[in-house]
Structure 1
Amino acid sequence: MPDEAPSPPLAGAAAHFRALESLYDSAPINRLWNSSLEIVESGFARIRFELTEAHYHAAGAAHGTSYFKMLDDAGFYAANSLVSDRFLLTTAFNLLFTSPLKAGPITAEGRWISGHRRVFVAESRLLDADGEEAARGTGTFMKSKIPLSSLDGYEFPA
């Protein structure tokens, strides 16, 4: 059987999305969660993660830091999927808790809402294992002076 031709290198938006996913994987904070980022299309990001009892507060449900972290990350990556030269910074984030989360698989979805130049707005939501919304958030993200290309984790696929 002949060898298959190598796949052509990714270019454009797809390469940027994979490099952002690599950046997410490289962040030390993400070692605290069993999570993975998928940038599905421009302006949309999905994070799948597993909550455990290690993420609980004293009353036996997930602490709000887990909600914020995943909602912020989903919104951030949805917005940064539209920006290929600079790292974005969260400048504000509003959060609504709608139900407590327990251990199990959770999905965070982020979607870009508005902004094209310097400030971007994205909304995100957390879905429990049954697909029920447990939280919702809206964030604003601003271009920083940090070039994405200067970050060790921002790597294009081979």
Structure 2
Amino acid sequence: MPCSLASRRGTLPDSTPTGAEAHFRALESLYAAAPINRLFDSVLEIPEGGVARIRFAVDSRYFHAAGAAHGTSYFKMLDDAAFYAANSLVTDRFLLTTAFNLLFTKPLTDGPVIAEGRWVSGQRRVFVAEARLIDASGEEAARGTGTFMRSRIPLAGLPGYRPD
């Protein structure tokens, strides 16, 4: 019967993330710890550097008077996804949004929404990332592009940022 190298050595493989993986998990923890995210039913996942995905649940709490999600909700979802895609490439400092442009393509109503963010360019001080919102039917509801600047705020000093 085949056995794994770990079991032959008498130890289990180490499941503690290291390097980039630890940074991604720490950013996910930072997102969850942010006070603003107590207002939104959302979860961040960073599958790889330069990519972030946030799952949101939109409901009537976020609606404007005409019964669809208010633009502030769109901005929150798009900015967060683009921001975390960019910050996944920076391990020492918190980035700040310096500009964000968005395009609304479809009203959002009740249901799940996925914000997908991707890094576009920049690796030193200024980063550009884009994001799009995908509704429950798989259609794009909005897209945006943000510019993010490296701040003087160390990630390691922020409550919630916990690299293992």
Larger radius of gyration: 2
Given residue 35 of structure 1, which amino acid in structure 2 is its aligned partner?
S
Tell me what 1:9 maps to.
16
Residues 63-112 of structure 1: CA distance to partner in whole angstroms, max 9, x if unpaired? 00000001000000000000000000000000000000001000000000
> How far off is 1:37 after superposition?
0.2
Separation of aligned partners in 2, 1:77 and 1:4: 35
Separation of aligned partners in 2, 1:102 and 1:117: 38
Task: Say if 2:54 is the partner of 1:47.
Answer: yes
TM-score when normalising by structure 1: 0.95
For residues 1-158 of structure 1, the aligned pairs below 5 Å read 5=12, 7-157=14-164
Aligned length: 156
TM-score when normalising by structure 2: 0.92
- Secondary structure at the residue paired with 1:66? helix
- Secondary structure at the residue paired with 2:47? strand
Moved over 3 A (4+): none
> How far off is 1:9 after superposition?
2.1
| Percent of residue pairs bearing the same amino acid type | 71
Q: Which 5+ residue runs of structure 2 have no aligned equivalent? A: 1-6
Tell me what 2:3 maps to.
none
CA RMSD across the alignment = 1.4
Separation of aligned partners in 2, 1:119 and 1:92: 11
Q: Which 5+ residue runs of structure 1 have no aligned equivalent? A: none
